[in-house]
Amino acid sequence: MKLPLLFTTFKKDLMVIERVIEEASSSQSAFMRETTGHLLKSGGKRIRPIFGMLCGKLGDYDIEKVKYPAAALELIHSASLAHDDVIDCASMRRGVATISAKWDNHVATYTGDYIFAHAMQLISQLNNPLAHQIVSKAIVEVCLGEIDQIHDKYRFDQSLRSYLRRIKRKTALLIAISGQLGAIAANVPASVHQNLYLFGYYVGMSFQITDDILDFTASEKELGKPAGSDLAQGNITLPTLYAMQDESLSKRIVEINATTDKLVLAQIIEDIRSSGAIEKSYALSQRYLNLAFAVLDRIPSKKQKKNLIEIANFIGKRTY
């Protein structure tokens, strides 16, 4: 089930946001129209815009204002994917060729930069210095997360804490500020939008942990890329860290490097799957969801709370 279908009441407003996103690829430069169009057409779950809208509903909701941060955060996410693909030398994303593969790494770099700058321009439409501060601070953290990820590749001695910090920076922060900025655009009071930030942060942690689990458990068709890609590329995620608590499995995992034989790798991935690490990972994902629900006790509106619980459950518990 696609996430937007959960929120049919938002369908019209989502279309407004889609149009703002599409405008990012209506550049004067024909070449840029082609590259950005390619990047943005590949779709996505639109989690960030939906978060923004749901949180905006807690205040003076006006789609003509909420659309700016909602579209901007989705664009920032897309820009980071373009740069991510430079990093991973990935050839497929969501089942289609990446920009790096279709053109080259250089085009991907500048297409990402452009989309990112366009997003900052959308944020500036809010005329709100706080929004600008929140976004730029978050993006600094996102970049730190990406650099950490490069640096931490194949470092099997990393702690659970550094994994959690990395996914906070890489994923949870942008989801957290999606909701907060949607709320700010609707003049929600600070005490409330700060709690919405926290809610989004916990949901985002749960979301990324689930994502990291699915990289082990889902099929290539469901993922749009080969299963086990994370470990194959040296990215050490929660299931691997938990699996390493088993001494004999740990000994085999720490031997993995960029030249490890595919069959050896496939066997290790299979063994991680059946080690209990997946179940433990799901349990941590659930703990973050519970923290998110606890935050909602501090939110006034009953009706919006129901929607927020729904999106949190959808995101945290999805099976593909």
Contacts to its own copies by CB under 8 A: 27-29, 31-32, 35, 83, 86-87, 105-107, 109-114, 116-118, 120-121, 123-124, 126-129, 132-133, 135-137, 139-140, 142-144, 146-148, 150-151
Alpha helices in 103-170 (DSSP H): 105-124, 129-151, 160-167
Q: How far is the CB of 127 from its own copies (least distance, A)?
A: 4
Q: How far is the CB of 95 from its own copies (least distance, A)?
A: 23
Q: Which residue number, 50 or 135, has a Cβ lying nearer to its own copies?
A: 135
Q: How far is the CB of 292 from its own copies (least distance, A)?
A: 26
Q: How far is the CB of 129 from its own copies (least distance, A)?
A: 4
Q: Which residue number, 110 or 320, has a Cβ lying nearer to its own copies?
A: 110
Comparing CA positions, the residue from 222, 192, 220 lying closest to residue 304 is 192
Q: Which residue number, 18 or 34, has a Cβ lying nearer to its own copies?
A: 34
Tell me the backbone φ, ψ of residue 38, rounded to 5 degrees.
Answer: -60, -45
Alpha helices in 152-225 (DSSP H): 160-167, 173-185, 190-217, 220-223
Q: Which residue number, 29 or 267, has a Cβ lying nearer to its own copies?
A: 29
Q: Which residue number, 140 or 266, has a Cβ lying nearer to its own copies?
A: 140
What is the distance between the alpha carbons of residues 181 and 120, in angstroms, rounded to a whole number? 13
Comparing CA positions, the residue from 310, 315, 316, 320 lying closest to residue 10 is 310
Tell me the two tokens of residue 100.
Answer: 């790096």
Q: How far is the CB of 42 from its own copies (least distance, A)?
A: 19
Tell me the backbone φ, ψ of residue 60, rounded to 5 degrees.
Answer: -80, 80
Q: How far is the CB of 87 from its own copies (least distance, A)?
A: 4
Q: How far is the CB of 68 from its own copies (least distance, A)?
A: 12
Q: Which residue number, 235 or 285, has a Cβ lying nearer to its own copies?
A: 235
How many residues are given for the chain? Answer: 320
Residue 230's H or E segment, with its range, is helix 229-232
What is the distance between the alpha carbons of residues 310 and 314, in angstroms, rounded to a whole number? 6
Q: Which residue number, 107 or 315, has a Cβ lying nearer to its own copies?
A: 107
- CB count within 10 Å of CB 62 equals 12
Helix 190-217 to helix 47-56 angle (10° resolution) is 160
